[in-house]
Chain A
Amino acid sequence: MLQGWIQIAITITLFVAISPLFGGYMARVFQGQRTLLDPVLNPLEGVIFTLSGVRDRPEMNGWQYTRAVLYSNIAACILVGLILFNQALLPFNPTHLNSSAATWDTILHTLVSFVTNTDQQHYSGESTYTYFSQFAGLGLMFFISCATGIAVAIAFIRGLTGRPLGNFYVDLTQAITRILLPMSLVGGVVMLAAGMPETLAGPVVVPTLENPHISQAIALGPVAHFEIIKELGQNGGGFFGVNSAHPFENPNGFTNLLEIVSMVSISAGLIHTYGAMANNPKQAWYIFNMVLIIYIAFVVVAGINEYNGIPGINQLLGSSQPNLEGKEVRFGWAQSALFLTTTTGTMCGAANSAHDSVMPGSLFIALFNMFLQILWGGEGTGTAYLFAYVILAVFATGLMVGRTPEFLGRKIEQREVVLASLLLLLVHPIVILIPGAITLSFPEVAANVTVPGFYNGIFNPGFHGLSEVIYEYTSAAANNGSGLAGLGNSEPAPSALWWNLSCCVVLAIGRYVPIMALLLLADGMSRKQSVPMTSGTLRTDTKLFAGVAAGVILIVGALTFFPVLALGPVAEAFAVL
């Protein structure tokens, strides 16, 4: 058991050490300061900006920035939609998928899910999308969606610190050319060397050793380059159906470490980017440590639960053994629990174990992570949510001590509180709990029903069934993308149509309403007069304030969702005792 905790501790230490470097680099990039890759990238970006028509880098206000996010994301959907709908006619289809491999509702859901950086997958990659659809279609979404998140976070930080928001296309391009693409190139080669395939050839079919009359199909594909940006961009959409549990997507302990560090680095780093841009690294460290402490506590809870295993099964085995249902031997309980907590906390959504089979205590952690959305949160958006929580905490403490709430020398007023509470306290529960309640009122599917229609598609009985439904909408609303895969959300299940369509709505609202609110909030803040700091100002760069912010986050996050947590994972935990 101790060895497991040591691996976890070293992994966490590693990314904590890397994140300030990362954050500092990102701050330099987005403040236009000189960086190492300038000689190569300045001319390249010059070409891209000219071709895109933004060479003169026109400044955008909150609404213009929001429109730019929407237009560019819609353009990506149209382009990738054309590829996915016509994949049978396009090249690089070595598995000979025909036009019925992906149904219209699956494609629609895939588009919305990938453009929102969610990558919730209601399909299995092997049998649904061609190589071309994956690398030339979904591959574009991988870059565009996370670069959009980073751009929004940077615009948000600029606004909070009293600067103009910038130009969306410049930020989008630079997030790709200076952060995502160079790291993917290096990381992809490392992934290749570590064992991942990267080929355009089709599956290899071999007779099995034990019984030569039975053959095995070894699915291949251009996996390595896909995998690195999947983690780095917190996309999480696997090339294969089982995602990072597939031996080709995650062959060993080294790739697993690299995947965990990649998925958390940018989100953790962005907190330091804020520190550098706001010229207040001390405050960034307090907020960083607050997130780190909650994150570690969550990892510990998940780890203990998986290590202790299922009591009823341990009786059969005659000893206490970890829960290895839906886990790979090479990861064991420790790396599976760490991956689970990190992927649901960062909104990556990749999975190296089957989340449907984890212990109720770990399921509790996964759901809680996606309710809060800030441990470390989605690429860019997580950091922005974190500061929206900080603004709410400023407001709450301001009320308690009777001072005018201020953040970075700017007054927090009605508009700020309305926008922050709208995006944190209202939109999230509304798009999770209401569709969840509607779905739960549908009947379960009988085994022999094949007609499409409104069924809930629950796979596991009892309290866990409620968790499956709530998890699916939470994952969609938080733009996480992991899922409890037993749920009948993939074609040709009779419940697939409902899940595809309802999740599309939740995904889009869960992404774009908060982005709009964040940009408007930042725009408003940037236009405020800065008030000088006096002895009466409530300081936000103290341990005390970080503690209060943690309290606000946990109470606000827990209270809204407490009933579903009690009826889902908590009740299930008592049922398996």
Chain B
Amino acid sequence: MQITREIGWAIRSTLVLWVITALIYPLVMVGIGQVAFPYQANGSLLKNAQGQVVGSALIGQPFTSDRYFNSRPSAVSYSTADPAHDTAGVLQTGESGSSNLAPSNPALKQRIQASVKQLQQAGVQPTADLVYSSASGLDPHITPAAAQAQVARVAKARGLDPQAVAGLIDQNLDRRWLGLFGEPGVNVLKLNLALDALPHP
């Protein structure tokens, strides 16, 4: 008798709390998000002049060519895939991930050796963020130093004035919160969008 009473409490309280915490609470929050903060709630999406979505202000994209400021190494290539050959289903769900290489793993040193060599050949002074891969594989930022180091290369590849290119860095810098918390980072996607928008000489 006692045991049925005790199990009854468990079942009834679980169901009541489920309705409150797992149905009402999330759906109310989705409602608040969609009404009060539609930009953030839908992923801080960036649109071009034609109104097409070109990415998210919070999610990085892969940039490896000389014409763009390069982003950090990513273990998941920034959740990208060729739509024609997406056998892994990356574009179905999106993905995130890091290299998980330990500081003592020789594979880490080999990878960084190759990156350092590549950067030096392009005339870019290697910084930690440009050779170490990010935690999410989606890091939208590079450090201001890493952006400065790439100015000459980008300006040369595009035939632009280095001053004009360097001026964009500060405009696309996400600063510390209240000047205190976190680290400043240059938003690479926004910076490169601004770069494309620069008038060609």
Q: Which A residues have a C-beta under 8 Å from some C-beta of B?
A: 6-7, 10-11, 48, 51-54, 64, 67-68, 71-72, 74-76, 79, 95-97, 124, 126-127, 135-137, 139-140, 142-144, 169, 172-173, 176, 181, 184-185, 188-189, 192-201, 203-206, 208-211, 213-220, 222, 224-226, 240-242, 245-248, 251-254, 256-257, 309-310, 312-313, 316-318, 321-332, 334-335, 351-354, 356-360, 459-464, 484-486, 572, 575-576
Contacts and interface: CB of A to CB of B under 8 A. Distances in A.
Given A97-B93, A124-B97, A462-B104, A248 B43 contact: yes
A210 B77 CA distance: 13
A169 B174 CA distance: 46
A6 B100 CA distance: 29
B21 A140 contact: yes
B10 A68 contact: yes
Interface string B55-73: 1101111111100100010
Given A48-B13, A210-B63, A321-B128, 18 more contacts: A136-B23, A142-B21, A144-B14, A197-B41, A197-B42, A209-B61, A219-B95, A225-B29, A226-B26, A247-B140, A313-B108, A316-B116, A316-B126, A322-B128, A330-B185, A356-B101, A357-B103, A460-B104
Given A325-B101, A485-B100, A251 B58 contact: yes
Contact of A464 (B21, B98, B104, B136): B104
A68 B8 CA distance: 10
A322 B143 CA distance: 13
A220 B101 contact: no
Nearest to B119: A317
Interface in B86-133: 89-106, 108-109, 112-113, 116, 126-129, 131-133
A323 B135 CA distance: 12
B58 A326 contact: no
B68 to A, nearest CB: 6
Given A127-B89, A173-B17, A201-B42, A256 B137 contact: no
Contacts of B68: 209-210
Contact of B102 (A10, A142, A176, A464): A464
A323 B132 contact: yes
B135 A354 contact: yes
B59 A6 contact: no
A140 B18 contact: yes
B58 A247 contact: yes
Interface in B7-24: 7-18, 20-23
Contacts of B95: 124, 126-127, 217, 219, 241
B10 A75 contact: yes
Contacts of B18: 79, 136, 140
A139 B58 contact: no
Nearest to A48: B16
Contacts of A51: 12-13, 16
B41 A199 contact: yes
A240 B138 CA distance: 12
28 contacts: A75-B13, A124-B95, A126-B94, A135-B22, A135-B26, A136-B26, A143-B17, A181-B21, A185-B29, A192-B40, A198-B32, A199-B33, A209-B189, A214-B81, A225-B25, A242-B135, A245-B96, A247-B60, A247-B138, A247-B140, A248-B58, A317-B116, A317-B128, A326-B133, A326-B134, A330-B185, A357-B101, A485-B100
Nearest to B24: A181
Nearest to B37: A192
Contacts of A185: 25, 28-29
B12 A461 contact: no
Contacts of B174: 252, 330
B26 A329 contact: no
Nearest to A460: B102
A172 B91 CA distance: 41
A198 B60 CA distance: 20
Interface residues of B, number: 107
Nearest to B138: A247
Contacts of A218: 43, 45, 55-56, 59, 79, 94
A111 to B, nearest CB: 13
A215 B91 contact: yes
B171 interface: no
A240 to B, nearest CB: 5
A389 B81 CA distance: 53
Nearest to B146: A329
The list of the 8 closest CB pairs from A to B, nearest first, reads: A253-B182, A219-B94, A198-B33, A486-B100, A245-B135, A253-B181, A332-B183, A71-B10
Contact of B82 (A95, A214, A462): A214
B169 interface: no
Contacts of B81: 214-215, 217
A136 B65 contact: no
Nearest to B53: A206
Contacts of B192: 209-210
Nearest to A210: B63
Contacts of B136: 242, 245-247, 328
B113 A316 contact: yes
A310 B22 contact: no
A143 B11 CA distance: 16
A389 B104 CA distance: 36
A242 B97 contact: yes
B11 to A, nearest CB: 5
A273 to B, nearest CB: 22
A86 to B, nearest CB: 15
Most A-side CB within 10 Å, residue of B53, B56, B93: B93
A311 to B, nearest CB: 9
B128 A196 contact: no
Contact of A52 (B13, B37, B116): B13
Given A173-B13, A254-B181, A331-B183, A325 B108 contact: yes
Contacts of B176: 253
Contact of B103 (A193, A220, A310, A351): A310
Nearest to B26: A135
Contacts of A247: 56, 58-60, 136, 138-140
A535 to B, nearest CB: 47
Nearest to A96: B92
Contact of A576 (B42, B104, B177): B104
A68 B13 CA distance: 11
B10 A217 contact: no
